[in-house]
Amino acid sequence: MSAAPLATARRATITDVAREAGTGKTSISRYLNGEMSVLSPELRARIEAAIQRLDYQPNQMARGLKRGRNRLIGMLLADLTNPYTVEVLQGVEAACHALGLMPLICHAANEVEMERRYLQLLTTYRVEGVIVNALGVREETLRPVGAGGIPVVLVDRSVDGLVTDMVGLDNRGAAELGTRHLLEKGFDDIWFVVQPFEQVSSRNLREAAFREVLGNNGNGNGKAHARGRTLVLNLGDPEAVQASLAELDRAIEAAAGVAGGVDRQARRTVAPGRRIALFAANAPVALCLALHLKARYGADWQTRAALLSIDDPEWAELTGVTTIRQPTYEIGYRAVEFLHERIEGVQTTARDCLLPGELIVRASTSG
C-alpha cells in the first residue's frame, strides 16, 4: 500500500525532475504549463513518469516570483463572528475557485491595529488584489495597498476619500423596506438601534433612510403620528451598552404601562398599538437586544417589543424575528469578479454594486 514515494525529506524541484527524466528544466516547465504542442509524445511520457515517481509539485512561490503574479488575493474581514461575514466569504471562495484565485483570509477581529498589520502583510506577500470589509475608517490605512497599485474592492462599506469599486447591500432601500413594514404593521413608536454610525457608511445610510421615511410619513399618508428615534449601541463598550439598554427599558415599560403606569403584572397582554418596535441595524445589535430583553422580561419578551433586524442570523427563524436578508453570497461573488477584472487591467471608473435586501416576515412583527 505504500506506493507513495517514501518521505523524500526535501521536496523535489524542477531540476530533480529534469534529471530524473533525462532532459532539461525547460521541457519540464513547458509540460507544467501545458505547452504540449512542443513536446514529443515520448518526452512527454518520460516527464509524466518522472513527476509521478518524485511526487513533484511545482513551487508556487518560485513561480510567482518569476512571473510577477501569484494568483493570491487578500480578503480582509472585520469580524468573523458576524454571520454576515461568513456568508460573504462563501461567495468569495466560490468565485475564487472559479477564477483560479487563492484567497488569503485575514481576520481583523474588530481590532484596527490588526487591520493595519494584515494589510501590510498582504502587501508584503504581493497579493494581486484585496477585498476589504474594513473597520478602519481612515483612507490612509488602505493607502499602502492602493499606492502600491494593488486593486482594492470594498465590501459592505465605503471609505471616505477612497475611490474604488465597492459592493454591498442597498442600505437605503433595505432600511426603507424595514421601516415601511413596521409602519404598515401599525407600530407607532419605532427605535432604530445601531452601533456608532458616524464613521461607517453602511450604518450611516441605514440610519439616514430610517429617519427620512419617518419624516416623510407625516405627509397625509396614514400613520401620521409614528415616532422614530435612533439609539446608539456601542457594542465595544459594555458600560455604554448598559446605559443605552436602560434608556430602552424605560421606553418599553412606559409604553406597556400606557401612560407611565405601574401595573406591569396586570397588563399581560399589551394593547397592540402600544408595543414598541425595535429596528436593529445588523445582527450583532439584534442579538444584543434580544439577549437583554430575554434576560429582563423572560421568555415572552416579544410581547413587550417587536424586533426587526437587517441580516438574517440562524437564530432568527428559531425565535421568530423578522429580518431583512442580505444577498451575502452574491456580494462576495461579485466582489471577487470586480477584483478579478481590475487585476486583468480593467480601467473603468470606480463602480458601485448595490444589491437589494429581502424582507422575511416572521411572528415578531405579525401580531
Partner DNA sequence: TTGTAAGCGTTATCAT
Partner DNA sequence: ATGATAACGCTTACAA
Q: Which is nearer to DNA, 13 or 110 (CB)?
A: 13
Query: Which of DNA, a copy of itself, none does residue 30 bind (CB under 5 to 8 Å by kind)?
Result: DNA
Report the nearest approach of DNA to the CB of residue 103 (Å).
Answer: 21
Please say whether the beta carbons of 88 and 330 come within 8 A: no
Q: Which is nearer to a copy of itself, 105 or 350 (CB)?
A: 105
Q: What is the DSSP letter of 268?
A: -
CA distance 57 to 51: 8
Query: Which of DNA, a copy of itself, none does residue 138 bind (CB under 5 to 8 Å by kind)?
Result: none
Q: Which is nearer to a copy of itself, 258 or 363 (CB)?
A: 363
Query: Which of a copy of itself, DNA, none does residue 170 bind (CB under 5 to 8 Å by kind)?
Result: none
Residue carrying the nine cell digits 513561480:
63
Q: Which is nearer to DNA, 33 or 242 (CB)?
A: 33
Query: Which of a copy of itself, DNA, none does residue 314 bind (CB under 5 to 8 Å by kind)?
Result: a copy of itself
Q: Which is nearer to a copy of itself, 145 or 213 (CB)?
A: 145
Query: Which of DNA, a copy of itself, none does residue 149 bind (CB under 5 to 8 Å by kind)?
Result: a copy of itself
Please say whether the beta carbons of 75 and 105 come within 8 A: yes
Torsion, Cα 241 242 245 249, to 10 degrees, reads 180
14 binds DNA (CB under 7 A): yes
**Among residues 19, 32, 107, 355, which is the contact residue for DNA, using CB under 7 A?**
32
Q: Which is nearer to a copy of itself, 97 or 227 (CB)?
A: 97
Residue 311's beta-bridge partner residues?
324
Residue carrying the nine cell digits 510567482:
64
Q: Which is nearer to DNA, 51 or 162 (CB)?
A: 51
Count of residues touching DNA (by CB under 7 A)? 32
Residue 231's beta-bridge partner residues?
193
Query: Which of a copy of itself, DNA, none does residue 110 bind (CB under 5 to 8 Å by kind)?
Result: none
Residue 360's beta-bridge partner residues?
323
Which residues would be at the binding site for a copy of itself (CB under 8 A)? Answer: 4-5, 7-11, 55, 57-62, 64-65, 70, 80-81, 86, 89-90, 93, 97, 102, 104-105, 107, 109, 114, 120-121, 123-126, 143-144, 146-149, 287, 290-291, 294, 299, 313-315, 317-320, 363
Number of H helices and E strands in the chain, helices first, is 13, 12
Which amino acid is residue 11, in one-letter code? R
Which of 161, 147, 231 shows the shortest CA–CA distance to 201?
161
Residues 6 or more apart whose Cβ sits within 8 Å of residue 87: 326, 328, 329, 332
- Report the alpha-carbon angle 186-188-190, nearest 5: 110
Residue list 38-67, contact with DNA (CB under 7 A): 38-40, 42-44, 56-59, 62-63, 65-67
Q: What is the DSSP letter of 365?
A: G
Segment near DNA (CB under 7 A); pick from 14-22, 108-116, 138-146, 258-266: 14-22
Query: Which of a copy of itself, DNA, none does residue 53 bind (CB under 5 to 8 Å by kind)?
Result: none
Burial class (CB within 10 angstroms; exposed 0-12, middle 13-18, buried 19+) of 41: exposed
Report the nearest approach of a copy of itself to the CB of residue 16 (Å).
Answer: 14
Which of 145, 159, 153 shows the shortest CA–CA distance to 91?
153
Report the nearest approach of DNA to the CB of residue 120 (Å).
Answer: 14
Cell numbers of 361, please?
Answer: 416576515
CA 296, 298, 302, 303 torsion-angle sign: negative
Burial class (CB within 10 angstroms; exposed 0-12, middle 13-18, buried 19+) of 295: exposed
Query: Which of DNA, a copy of itself, none does residue 216 bind (CB under 5 to 8 Å by kind)?
Result: none
Query: Which of a copy of itself, DNA, none does residue 121 bind (CB under 5 to 8 Å by kind)?
Result: a copy of itself
Residues that bind DNA (CB under 7 A): 10, 13-15, 22-30, 32-33, 37-40, 42-44, 56-59, 62-63, 65-68
